[in-house]
Structure 1
Amino acid sequence: MSAIEDIEDDRGELRKPFLHTGSWYKMQGMGSRQSSITGSAQVLRDGSVSVLLCVLIVALGPIQFGFSCGYSSPTEEDIMSDLGLSLSQFSLFGSLVNVGAMLGAITSGQIAEYIGRKGSLMIAAVPNVIGWLAISFAKDSSFLYMGRLLEGFGVGIISYTVPIYIAEIAPQNMRGTLGSVNQLSVTAGLLLAYFLGLFLSWRILAVFGSLPCLILIPGLFFIPESPRWLAKMGLMEDFEASLQVLRGYDTDISLEVNEIKRSVASTSKRRTISFAELKRKRYWFPLMVGIGLLGLQQLSGINGVLFYSATIFENAGISSSNLASVGVGVIQVLATGVTTWLLDKAGRRLLLIISSSAMTLSLLFVAVAFYIESSASEDSKLYSIMGILALVGVVAFVVAFSLGLGAIPWLIMSEILPVNIKGLGGSVAVLANWTSSWVVTMTANLLLDWSTGGTFTIYAVVSASILLFVILFVPETKGRTLEEIQSSFR
């Protein structure tokens, strides 16, 4: 009996994807071999174009993710005024996206494993749309909170599924670049929320927040399912067809097909592992790296800065605080774009070391500027200078974060987790990320009210811890296939 037959016997009845792509790309491929190539068949023949189109469609999810993070910054004063919320109530509203995301994270891995990556994104998109509409039509805090929870639930699933899907469809030499599109889309969504918040009321802005997922829903019907997931489910015909359309119909995929089949066969004979087996390095080490990176990423304070950037800039004495937030958003998108270009050249580990080092220094710089500013009178020249320096330091922190710690933890998580614990391990890692984010966003406003300089000092200590963690534990994954990376832990 072959390895693949063993897998099918272990499963009993093969699963079908929740969103089955049907045979459109198979038929297109057959037609492209038998006739001249025109229209969409020509697009599908070029593997790089096909993969890029898939990435751009699923990137609508992270755009909505970023929009959720940025929404609370330009809307704080208006929502508090219109609905009569206190500072603590609005802080609760801002942080509830993280609570919803924690709930989504708990289920994200199992949903993505059971019904496929595309089906998981569909399940994420629907509550996202409902949540934004609930916020838009909210008459009191209860609808506001409910909408934020629903929106967060979808974000939690998106934050796991999109990096996994991109890593599983991308060619080895493009995986870093395409994987960083996830974080680039998050920053684009954040900038969109900041920019539109200058002109739109908070209710209209919430309607705009639903648009990325409204476009994503029909887009999911036009992209293939992850070939690695199809192989793991034993759907071999669909697996090869999906991989062929992703690589181009003129490409010989036999080597990649055989490598994926061997990897699936070696990890799928037992579908679950015991807790005792997690003590083996092949499991505990990638789990520890994934959880550590994603948890520490948020404890650095990035979401506290991005959620409440307008408040931070007001504390720095910047009169046009919302406009300054837009400027930070633009810089973050540009810096993340540079990371997208660098990832497959410089490598993950080097960029993480540079990023966390620069974050630590910039956060200490901001803390010192705020400490000095707090001792100066508001009408003095020193107060104005320190406010400008604090703004420069915040911008430097956001740039440093975007150059490494923003995109790379998600990419590494999607690369290093073994196939048979990817669902559980990925859920735990994403849960750690959103739990940390909740702690930061729930406390950021209160900490800033206590001491702005003290808040940034705390974040600087965490960033220094990230640097130490990267140096001691994080491996380089550049230039290796997913199967090579995961087999290296055995």
Structure 2
Amino acid sequence: AMNHEEESRPLLAESHGQRPEADRSEQDAYLDKVKNGKLYLATFAAVLGPLSFGFVLGYSSPAIPELQRSTDQRLRLSAEEASWFGSVVTIGAGVGGLLGGWIVEKIGRKLSLMFCALPFIFGFTIIIAAQNHWMLYTGRVLTGLASGVTSLVVPLYISEMAHERVRGTMGSCVQLMVVTGIMGAYIAGLFLDWRWLAITCSIPPTLMLVFMCFMPETPRYLLSRGKRREAEEALRFLRGPSAPAEWECAKLEEASRDEEANFSLADLKDPGVYKPLGVGIMMMLLQQFTGINAIMFYAENIFEQAHFKNGNIATVVVAATQVVFTAVAAIIMDRAGRKVLLILSGVAMCVSEAVLGIYFKLFTMKQGNSSLVSTFMGAEGTVSEAPHPDLAWLALASMGIFIAGFALGWGPTPWLVMSEIFPTRVRGLGSAVCVLTNWTCAFIITKSFHNLIDLITSAGTFWMFSIFCALNVIFTIFFVPETKGKTLEEIQAHFKRTH
């Protein structure tokens, strides 16, 4: 704890007199008395939502091949129907992101989380009972809707509960549980058929619904609704019996008094609103333009070129790599800081995608005029000569570095920063815009990927993504604030200061 204090002080000293030293030492003395056990418990209950979200994303990969081979004509999916089964989730998630921004302000963070467990459970129940294609699609849309709400509400819930010493680690657990859910669905899919897999996927949201019954609403939300006594009780639960919860409650109440209760369009002229909104939107856009979906699309083909014939095992290895490095990011987030991880992540992805572009260029030259699209998309007329093994390992190494780099920074951090930078009155709306941006960009990249390959070749496509990763680094250096060790109020004050 002392090491962390020493790390925090110089950072906070940069806030141009924002916080007096006496106040800082008072805050440190308070945090020294805090016990985090119940906070970890509340975080665990909340991140069962992202775990459910991960199972939704991972479900289609093992389920689609089975449904395409189904002996039941009513359930058998054609290639086009399978594409819709996989992608219709993004439509539900986009709607869920907008819906989440509204309900999180109307009924609060806790009830929103309990609410979004229901479409998860109903969606998987419809898939389990499916008798035709429309039941499969309906189930996927419902689970997508729940995923959209979850991706907005859980980061807010955690950031408003956690204190500055552990907020980075707790917030990074959101992405960690998403990738854990994806890996869980892949592994379960090796052993279970699609109906039993759907039953397995419905367990995490059911547990979340039960556990969240016993967790508190966030103190900041309660104070914004004038419920001081309940806010104090929530803080006592989250900070343990030794910490004087009344002191923190008074500080939060003082901060909430400085804000208008309701958002109006005139607030968009406030740098404390439009600056974080710009940072949040750009981070979500740049996250998707790293080309993560393109890499995941090519993963199985790259493994095959490197002579790993079992595609199912390959996808589990990719998912496991994401889990390991997202866990590393969660552990070091509150020590290294957000900016350092974002910059390292951006550099690693930029270099690895540039090398991957070189691999595809060399591969195309080796194959002469044969179309790389037909080679990698599994079309007829695949090449007779395999590329040199050295080239295949180059692709494999590049892909591994890219996935590790993404998981270390640009995977978890945009979601964490989104939950930290908005003032309370616009937190729901700002987060909704960021979530919608993320899902829209994911949809655009996924749908336009084949067209990009036709237009500028595979090598050109990955070089384009590499340039975007370089832009990520530049954007991080100049525009993303370091939020490590700062209270939410200090982060918001950073944006209000004129340059």
TM range (shorter): 0.7 to 0.9
> Cα offset for 1:467?
2.0
- For residues 279-330 of structure 1, what are the alpha-carbon distances to aligned partners after superposition, in whole Å with 9 as ceiling and x for unaligned? 2211110001111112221232223444674355446664111101111111
Q: Distance in 2 between matches of 1:445 and 1:323?
A: 25
Does the 8 A contact of 2:232 with 2:246 survive in 1? Answer: no
The answer on 1:474 being equivalent to 2:466 is no
Q: Distance in 1 between matches of 2:390 and 2:243?
A: 59
- For residues 178-214 of structure 1, what are the alpha-carbon distances to aligned partners after superposition, in whole Å with 9 as ceiling and x for unaligned? 1111111111111111211222222322221111101
Q: Distance in 2 between matches of 1:381 and 1:480?
A: 54
Unaligned runs of 5+ in 2: 1-32, 368-382
Look up the match of 1:385: 390
- For residues 137-186 of structure 1, what are the alpha-carbon distances to aligned partners after superposition, in whole Å with 9 as ceiling and x for unaligned? 33433222211111110000100111111111112111111111111111
Counterpart among 156, 162, 166 of residue 158 in structure 2: 166
Look up the match of 1:31: none
Letter in 2 for 1:440: I
Counterpart among 290, 298, 303 of residue 300 in structure 1: 290
> Cα offset for 1:342?
1.1
Look up the match of 2:67: 79
Look up the match of 1:142: 134
Letter in 1 for 2:135: F
How many correspondences in the alignment? 444
Q: Distance in 1 between matches of 2:398 and 2:234?
A: 46
The answer on 1:252 being equivalent to 2:257 is no
Q: Out of 340-349 and 435-444, give the one that drifted further.
A: 435-444
- Alpha carbons of structure 1 residues 64 and 333: separation in structure 2 relative to 1, 3 Å: same
The answer on 1:440 being equivalent to 2:445 is yes
> Cα offset for 1:444?
4.5
- Alpha carbons of structure 1 residues 354 and 312: separation in structure 2 relative to 1, 3 Å: same
The answer on 1:272 being equivalent to 2:277 is no
Q: Distance in 2 between matches of 1:120 and 1:383?
A: 53
Counterpart among 180, 188, 199 of residue 180 in structure 2: 188
- Alpha carbons of structure 1 residues 315 and 433: separation in structure 2 relative to 1, 3 Å: farther
- For residues 13-65 of structure 1, what are the alpha-carbon distances to aligned partners after superposition, in whole Å with 9 as ceiling and x for unaligned? xxxxxxxxxxxxxxxxxxxxxxxxxxxxxxxx973110001111111111111
> Cα offset for 1:432?
0.6
- For residues 249-302 of structure 1, what are the alpha-carbon distances to aligned partners after superposition, in whole Å with 9 as ceiling and x for unaligned? 11113332122101111113x41222x331221111000111111222123222
- Alpha carbons of structure 1 residues 160 and 233: separation in structure 2 relative to 1, 3 Å: same
Does the 8 A contact of 2:305 with 2:386 survive in 1? Answer: no
Look up the match of 1:338: 328
Unaligned runs of 5+ in 1: 1-44
Look up the match of 1:23: none
Does the 8 A contact of 1:305 with 1:312 survive in 2? Answer: no
- For residues 111-135 of structure 1, what are the alpha-carbon distances to aligned partners after superposition, in whole Å with 9 as ceiling and x for unaligned? 1111111110112111111212223
- Alpha carbons of structure 1 residues 89 and 368: separation in structure 2 relative to 1, 3 Å: farther
Look up the match of 2:467: 461
Look up the match of 1:57: 45
SS at match of 1:126: helix
Q: Distance in 1 between matches of 2:127 and 2:453?
A: 26
- Alpha carbons of structure 1 residues 479 and 46: separation in structure 2 relative to 1, 3 Å: closer
Identity rate, percent: 39
Look up the match of 2:359: 369
- Alpha carbons of structure 1 residues 374 and 86: separation in structure 2 relative to 1, 3 Å: farther
Q: Distance in 2 between matches of 1:440 and 1:150?
A: 23
Q: Matches of residues 302-317 of structure 1 in structure 2 within 5 Å?
A: 302-306=292-296, 309-310=299-300, 313-314=303-304
Letter in 2 for 1:291: I
The answer on 1:405 being equivalent to 2:410 is yes
- Alpha carbons of structure 1 residues 92 and 467: separation in structure 2 relative to 1, 3 Å: farther
Letter in 2 for 1:319: K
SS at match of 1:261: helix
Does the 8 A contact of 1:100 with 1:153 survive in 2? Answer: yes
Counterpart among 317, 326, 332 of residue 316 in structure 2: 326
TM-score by length of 2: 0.84
Q: Distance in 2 between matches of 1:314 and 1:137?
A: 35
SS at match of 2:495: coil
Look up the match of 2:5: none
Look up the match of 1:41: none
Letter in 1 for 2:446: T
TM-score by length of 1: 0.85
Q: Distance in 2 between matches of 1:143 and 1:449?
A: 35
Q: Distance in 2 between matches of 1:55 and 1:337?
A: 15
> Cα offset for 1:349?
0.8
Does the 8 A contact of 2:483 with 2:491 survive in 1? Answer: yes
Q: Out of 255-264 and 347-356, give the one that drifted further.
A: 255-264
Does the 8 A contact of 1:109 with 1:426 survive in 2? Answer: yes
Name the Cα RMSD after superposition: 2.3
Letter in 1 for 2:320: V
Does the 8 A contact of 2:305 with 2:387 survive in 1? Answer: no
- For residues 321-358 of structure 1, what are the alpha-carbon distances to aligned partners after superposition, in whole Å with 9 as ceiling and x for unaligned? 11011111111111111111111111101110110111
Counterpart among 481, 489, 499 of residue 483 in structure 1: 489
SS at match of 1:300: coil
Look up the match of 1:106: 98
Look up the match of 1:431: 436
Does the 8 A contact of 1:101 with 1:152 survive in 2? Answer: yes
